[in-house]
Every structure is written in C-alpha cells, then in structure tokens.
Chain A
Amino acid sequence: MPSPAFHAPGTVDEVVGLLAGDPQARVLAGGTDLIVQMRSGRIAPSAVIDLKRIGGMSGVRVEAGTFAIGAATACTALKDCAELVAAWPGVVEAANLIGSVQVRNRATMGGNLCNASPAADSVPALVAAGATCVVAGPAGRREVPVAAIPAGPGKTSLAPGEFVVEIRLPPRPAGGGDAYLRSIPRTEMDIAVVGAGVSLVLGPDGTCTSARIALGAVAPTVVLVEDAAAALVGSRLDDAALDRMAEAVRAACRPIDDKRGTAGYRTAMAAVLARRTVNIARERAQSESTSKA
C-alpha cells in the first residue's frame, strides 16, 4: 500500500502542473476534511498537494474595499482582519461556526467550499454576500461565483488541474448588512441541519433595495432563493414581506431525511432561520445607515 506522495510547492503554477499531471492528486488546505476522509478510507489520493507554502495564499488582502482571501487562510485568521469583520460579519461568523477552535485554526473557507458538503457553513454566507472565487488551472485563471463551484454532494465544477486560489468579496454596499445562522442540536461540533445566509441593502428610509438569501443543507448544493429575496425587495421588511419570504424559502427546500434531521423539520427550520437571519442582517444594515447618517 503505497502511501500518498506529499508535495509542498511554492507557486500556483506548480500546483496546477502537479494536479494536471495526476488526476488522483488532491489539494490540501487545512486538512480537516481531507485527512479525516483519508483516515476513514473514504478516499485514497495518490498525492497530497499542500497549499500553505505558496506565497500570498494565507491572509486577507484589502484592495479598494474589496477583499481577497487566500485559499490557505484559516477561519480564525479571518477575525484578525478588522475591515473584513466590519464589512461582512456574517461571512466571518459563518466560517467561525465550523467545528471547534482547534478545527478552525486549520480549516479554510476554500476547503469548506471545495469539499462540497451541502451543509458547509461558510458557503451560504459567501453566496449571500455575492462572493466569487478565482480559479487557477492549465488554461489560466478565471473568476466564477462561489455558487458555481459545488456540483452536488462531494462534487465540484472544477476541471482537472484546477483549484481555488482565492475567494473575493465585494465592498460592503452602503446600507448593507449580512448574517448567517445555522440549526444544530448542540451548540458546536455539529453539522448544520439547516443553514441560512442573508445579505440585505436598505435604503435611507428602511426600504429593502436588494437582498440575497442562500440556504444550506436543504438541497444537494447551496440554494440561492431568488423568490425569497424578491419578496423583500421594495418592502420595509414588514411581517407580510417576511411571511412571503418564508413561504418562498419553504418552497425552495428539497431536503432529504437523514440522521441529522427529517425533511419536514429542515424545511420548517429553513423558514424560521431565514426570518431570524434577515432580522440580524436588518439590524446591521440599519446601524450602518444610521452611522452613515
């Protein structure tokens, strides 16, 4: 039983070369999914390619209000970037719900995304925030929405030789606020039964001018519920609008029954969580608009 080869290249091109030359090779970020899956025998990659030695792969770059988060950035490190915390608190919170402190000191959002679990916590928050990712591959670099990466449980849309170099978040819009909540039976160390990410923009009078609502663990991949967002836009987030939003959320759920929750419970909780998440995002957006005013 040959043990997998281990590579720790220093450049993005080397990673692409190694990946392109060996379809059984896997990228290693924090390893909190990869190593667990290797040890359980679920996967047996021929080679493991560590991203952490590549210059610029760890840390958050702030460029004119946009954020470029390197693929090797541990979730806890996101909290060190005050601008990011101020702009996208929901994303930072979502990434910092994963596992435990020890897990988060290793785990990355890129790994969370590319592991392609329907229940991945940071993904609905990223999708709600309109995040994109930069993908490097044999054909060069391309930038795609985060939502385009997961293709089903454990599957991504990445082509052979491709990997995610960084995740990008736009500047926070004026009057914007985001949030993420998940439902788990315990307080931590659990996988989301349902997750809801929300990003809102409120006008000066409190009218919602734009909204994005994304759900985790209710379908094979993260779901961006456009009908739910549409139910909010133009409203002042009154009860009637929230009811329509909740209804749209329920309608968008296509969950399964499994050990973590029944389909019916998941659908019901998606609506409850979406409502609560909207309320947090609203508060953040309002505090934003009042502080600007």
Chain B
Amino acid sequence: MNAPSDQKTFRLVGTRPIRPDGIEKVTGKAIYGPDFVAPGMLHGAVLRSPHPHARIRGIDTRRAEALAGVKAVVTGADFPGGAEGTVAGGETPTDLKYASIKCMARDKVFFEGHAVAAVAATSAAVAEEALKLIAVDYEVLPHVTDIEEALRPGGPILHDDVFTQGLAETPTTPSNASLRFAMTRGDAEQALGAAVEVYTGRFTLQPVHQGYIEPHACVASWQADGQGQIWCSTQGHFSVRAMTAGILGMSIASIRVMPLEIGGGFGGKTTVYLEPVAMLLSRKAGRPVRLAMQRGDIFRASGPAPGAVIDIRLGALADGTLSGADIEFKYNGGGLPGAYEVYSGVMSTLSCYRVPDANVVGWNVLTNMPTVHAYRAPGAPQTYFAVECAIDELARRLGIDPIDMRLRNVLRPGDTDGRGMTLGAIGYAETLEATKAHPHYAAPLGPNQGRGIACGSWGNYGGPSTAAVSLAEDGSILVTEGNPDIGGSRAAMAMMAAETLGIAYEKVRVTVADTSSIGYSMGTGGSRTTFATGMAVVQAAEAVIEIMKQRAAQMLGADAAGIEWRDGAAVLGEQRLSIAEIAAKSGMTGGPISAEAAIHPGGFLPGFGAHICDLEIDPETGHTTVVRYTALQDVGRAIHPDYVEGQIQGGAVQGIGWALNEAYVYDREGHLDNAGFLDYRMPVASDMPMIEAVMIEVPNPDHPYGVKGVGETPIVPPLAAVANAVRDATGLRIGDLPLSPDRIYARLQAAE
C-alpha cells in the first residue's frame, strides 16, 4: 500500500534468518563486560563521594596502601592535567577535560557517587576493605539538584570557571547555565500574534536512566613499554581508545581496545567512566585490573538523560497550519559541562514540521546530579513531548483530527529540516496515512479509556566506518567490522554481504574486531551502524567481487571486462566459477582475496514515527494501564525485520516508561533515593501490551539497500502519545512527567 513503485525485491534483505550471535548469548557462553578475566588480574574498587557537592581538602590513602593485598591506589592527583579537545563519542562528542573529571574528581565533587579514589587489590573483598581506609577530608558545600533553583541568584555555583556560552556578550560572573543555544527563523512573535489559536504551556520532565542491564565493566592492562590493552563493553571501542589516550596522555595507537559483548547501552555506553582509572591502577600495580560498577553506582554516577523545563507557545491557523512557535527549554545537565543535548534538542524541536516562524532557545543548566549522557535520540524526546502535546491541544480547539493536523504540517520530500538539510525520500506523510488507516485508530474505546497520537523524528547519521571482506581458503566469507553488535547488526551485516555477493547467509561470518584489527569506526549509536557500516560492508563486498572477476578472468584466460557476477559466481558464457573455486586457486592468481572500505558517507535520512496509545485510567486510584499500543515508523528498508521491529518496540517501551513512572528521586540531602531497579520504576514485561510495530518502507536511495536508521526515533513519540491518551481519558492536560498514579490521582481530585 505504501510501497513506492520502485521497490526492488531482494533474496535476503527483508528476511528473518537466525542471528549468528544468538546461540552463544542464550546459552550463556558470550563474554560480556563483567565476565572477562585476565591472568594475574587484580580487582579494583572505586571510592565514591557521599556528598552531592563538596570541596576535597585532602585525601589520605596511606592506610589503604599499607593493607596487605593492596597493589595500587589512585586519586585525581595521579591523572595528568591538561587533557583537552573533544572526541567523537556515539551520538555526541565528549569534552576530554570533563571526561577526565567525570572519571575521577580533582579538587571538588559535583554529585553523589563522584569517584574520588580507586584501589586495586588481590581480591574484591580486600579492595572494598581498602576503600574504608581512605580518609577524604570534605568541605561540604550547599547543593542544588533542581533546574530552576540552580538558576536562582545567590544559590550554589558549581564551577567558578564556567561562564554561559552562546550569549551575545561574554558574561563576567560564573553561572550554572553553561550553555545557551538558539535557532531562529522568521518572526515568531508576529506569527503568534496573527495565529487563530495559540497554545501556551509549561512541561516538566525528570531525568531518566538508559537502564541497560549489563553494568559498566572493564579490564585494563598496562605494559612497561607504555602500551596498554582494554577489554570492555562499549558502544564504541574506538572512542574508549581515544578518550583513554587523551585523558592519560598516551598515543592512540598505543592502546588496543577489545570490545566484549554488550548487554545494552542505548547511548549510555558511548563514554568512559572506568577505563582510564583501571589503566592508571594497572600502570601502578603492573598487573591487569578489573573495575565494574554496581547498580547503585550506575544510577548515581553514570549519565542519565536530562530532565527538563519547557515553555512553549505554539500558534496555528484555522485550517490547522502551524504558523509560529516560541519554545524555550532548560535541560538539567548534571554536574559537569560538556553535554550536547541542548544542541540536538534545539535542532530536533519541530524537526518534522514546516513552521515558518519559530524561535527555539535551549539552556544547559548544571546541578549536583550525575552528568547527563546520551540516551536514545538525545535531547529530542523532551522537546517533542511539549510540541506534540501542544499540537494535540490545538487540534482539539480547532476541531481537526490530530493525524490530519500533523499531515497538514509534516515535511515532504524537498523540504528543509531544522538542521538546514534538504530532505529527499522521506516517508513522513506515508507513515501518517498508514496510521490513519490502521484499524487501531478506528477501534472503539472502553469506559475510562483514552487514545493519544504523537509523532517524533530523529535526524540519524552516517559517520566514519571501516569494514573488510575477505575470502577464507574454502570460499566462505569473513566480514570484519568495528561496530559492537547491540541490536542484531552482525546478522544485518552478514545479510548485506551475502546479498551483494549472491551467496547464502550462512556462508558469511561477521567479526566485531578490536581497534588494532580494523580501521576507525565511530561507535554504534546515532542510528548509524546499519546505514554507514552496512554501506562499508557492501562496498568492500563489491570490491571483492571485482577482484574475483579478475581472478576468474585469469583462470579462464579471458578478459575481465567480459565476466559477469551472477548468483555468487563469475560467469562467462557457459562457464561458471564459484567463490570456492576462485578461492582455491587464489595462490596462483595473485594471493589472498580481500578488500576494505573506509568511508564517511552522506546521504543519510531521518527517521519518523507515529504512535497510537490507548490507555485506561482507574479513576479511584490514578493507575494507568496501557491497553493497546501501535508504533508506525518510516524505516527506509528493514534489512532484518525482527531487529527493526525490536528497535521500535524497545524504544516505545522506554518512552512509555519515561512517561509513566521513571524518575530520579532525590532526598533533601541530595542523595538519590531510588538507585536500583526496585524503586527506579522501569516498565516490567507484564506492564505492557504487545506493542505492534508497523514498518513503513520508503527506501533511502542513497543506501544500496535503502537503509535509514531506526534505533532512536521510536523513543521520541511515546511521551506525548501517553500524555495525550491521559488527556483523552480524563480531560486533563498534565504536562509534568512522570504520569504516576499519585500524580494523576491528585489532578483528578483537584478537578472534582
């Protein structure tokens, strides 16, 4: 129905073969971050600040060093000064100075759980005991965790050397507002003045964690010649290498990072917390050192997505055309500057709509919370929440169907998005048409039930990737890539290689190689891997085909120009040489056959999703039950539909959790009160209905198999889809997340 007429059919692309890493994972043999063991390895432990904000007057480690079994102790004093510059992370670049302070505090701690010292010892128990012997002399400072309190004059200032960036005049007094970034087009005030309806509202969101199951963990081993090795679970081992090198003043090529299997990241594993610390401990101890976080450390000291306060005015004409917008948001950046969510947030706000006159301003506000870090579509779900709720209200006031309202405003091919990119084959309108036509949209609702619609988009990315394709002696195929496989990408890479080569999927084996075994590849993030690394795999496979054609020509005594590649074989008239035959003779035709592609492709296209949420409210308790949920998304083309649907379902669940119950709860002392899965209320399986994922395939013509990124878009719409369903069920516009039972109950009571 929505398939464009030029839809190509493929042999493998679009099928659902078994993933090559599946058996290893379900039988427990796969080696994840915390599983890795090196001979002679020491056990490390990190001492973390009990205070959200304090000056460190001194640290006395002598008693810890004297404890039998302790082999090394490090503090901030062991870190070289002067780390600077930025390193490409996954979805957002990382500022090295603050990445270093995030690993280990220097003269101040900025959040509860900030690392202040670390030890390596012969057992985990000795390491823990040694931590108790470290005396830290803190001067406790007043703290602030709330965005607006952090901006109030006279309150605690976290950094004396942070002055708001992005103002017309450079300020002379330090501020917790570390960054202002704005995007202005047209004349928003005039457009709002001329609008028929203007929705004005304030929305607040709490910080939420990515909630990956596998904790951060690594083993680092420093050698006497100045080289080092790291085994860790990460979305990007090349950035682990660059960050560790940058923080420790080592050359990049001196560090080799071995990526282990990864048990979830969602953006949260695109930085380093432990690796430089473990490397320093290893350098002092002369032995490999393991560091691993406990769940409490993860909540207290690794980066959540920013909480936010968003003020919005959105204007529309009588026909539903969005005519003007004025949006100002403040993100809770946590303890250290350098978060980039404000940039991506500004560029994502309104990114799927034509709003000619718009003013969008974002602020990053520092507070005594863990420094925020990328989480699936970083910066976008927050502002989309405000925009999609505002559109819902405008549609109601104007008496327009919420999908029609969006269809009127959504970008079409040839339009320019918020980043200034002119977009080609986008399927926003196709996705909305499919949403309108979906049986869910017309299904009747029961008592106390409501239905919400919301959209969302994420820009996606290309980014640098390297991949190699080589022939084994028997003609089976090896694909080597540099992107950790989080969501089934080995399967997708094998499928694209096999499709290109014209052979069976099972003939191809994919390895995620370490930083010294394949060229640079940006991390698995930004919804880029299947697009960019997939393209590198296809190009390497095409180069291998060219080589094989030449080798076949030699074997047949013919001209390579006359050789065709068909169904996994070199064909010349009636003659046919298989890959196995070409491989068998490669010793006589020029040696091993292999090719590498190192690329930085453009041509990526954004993703777009439209979600329908039905939920039921218990009017006596404020409990919500999501009774039906459908997520439609323009996916370009799905290489392996299971993993595309899995991304859509997973993103939707994470967004629903953000909307319903997830939040960081701080007590008056600035201590995180729910640093565990029991009280940090992510959805459990029984909370959710089966989420129906509907793939709308509008292929990307700039990718050999039509790929657009899919991983991040699906977390963007659910926040507003849920809130709009609550609005529909109760008549209440609740702009504060989470929509927990007690909050809904209080609002229902107040409305009575």
Contacts and interface: CB of A to CB of B under 8 A. Distances in A.
A188 B621 contact: no
A259 B666 CA distance: 9
A269 interface: yes
Given A188-B684, A190-B678, A265-B746, A183 B741 contact: yes
Contacts of A193: 742
A260 B684 contact: no
B128 A189 contact: no
A137 B257 CA distance: 59
Contact of B684 (A3, A186, A262): A186
Contact of A269 (B621, B661, B677, B686): B621
B745 interface: yes
B86 interface: no
B686 A187 contact: yes
Interface string B21-51: 0000000000000000000000000000000
A272 B620 contact: yes
A55 interface: no
B681 A186 contact: yes
Contacts of A191: 678-679
A240 B661 CA distance: 35
Contact of B741 (A3, A185, A187, A259): A185
Contacts of B742: 193, 261-262, 265
A82 interface: no
Q: How would you classify the secondary structure of chain A's contact residues: helix, strand, loop or mixed?
A: loop
A259 B673 contact: yes
Given A186-B684, A187-B686, A189-B678, A268 B125 contact: no
Interface in A166-208: 183, 185-191, 193
Chain B interface size range: 20 to 34
Nearest to A3: B125
A268 B665 contact: no
Interface residues of A, number: 21
A190 B745 contact: no
B440 interface: no
B740 interface: yes
Contacts of A189: 677-678, 684
Contacts of A188: 684, 686
A259 B679 contact: yes
Contacts of B677: 189
Contacts, number: 49
A64 interface: no
B683 A185 contact: no
A239 to B, nearest CB: 15
B642 interface: no
Contacts of A258: 673
B369 to A, nearest CB: 16
Interface in A217-251: none
A148 B677 CA distance: 32
B289 to A, nearest CB: 20
A5 interface: no
A265 B743 CA distance: 9
Nearest to B622: A265
Nearest to A2: B125
Given A265-B745, A272-B621, A186 B683 contact: yes
B123 to A, nearest CB: 9
A139 interface: no
Contact of B623 (A40, A185, A260, A262): A185
Contacts of B665: 259
Given A191-B678, A272-B620, A186 B661 contact: yes
Given A259-B665, A272-B621, A185 B679 contact: no
A1 interface: yes
A1 B686 contact: no
A286 B125 CA distance: 59
A185 B661 contact: yes
Contacts of A272: 620-621
Contacts of A269: 621
Pick the most buried of B621, B623, B660: most chain A CB atoms within 10 A of its CB.
B621
A190 B673 CA distance: 15
Interface string B669-694: 00001100111010110110000000
Contact of B687 (A186, A259, A261, A265): A186
A128 B556 CA distance: 90
A67 B745 CA distance: 40
B129 interface: yes
Contacts of B620: 272
B208 to A, nearest CB: 15
A271 to B, nearest CB: 9
A257 B215 CA distance: 31
Contacts of B741: 183, 185, 265
B383 to A, nearest CB: 26
Contact of B128 (A1, A259, A265, A268): A1
Contacts of B296: 40
Pick the most buried of B128, B661, B741: most chain A CB atoms within 10 A of its CB.
B741
Given A259-B673, A259-B679, 17 more contacts: A3-B125, A40-B296, A183-B621, A185-B660, A185-B740, A186-B681, A186-B683, A187-B684, A187-B686, A187-B687, A189-B678, A193-B742, A259-B665, A259-B674, A265-B742, A265-B746, A269-B621
25 contacts: A40-B296, A183-B621, A183-B741, A185-B660, A185-B681, A185-B740, A185-B741, A186-B661, A186-B681, A186-B683, A186-B687, A187-B684, A188-B684, A189-B678, A190-B678, A191-B678, A193-B742, A258-B673, A259-B673, A259-B674, A260-B679, A261-B742, A265-B742, A265-B745, A268-B745
Which 6 A-B residue pairings sit nearest by Cβ, starting from the closest? A265-B742, A187-B686, A259-B665, A259-B673, A272-B620, A1-B125
Interface of A: 1, 3, 40, 183, 185-191, 193, 258-262, 265, 268-269, 272
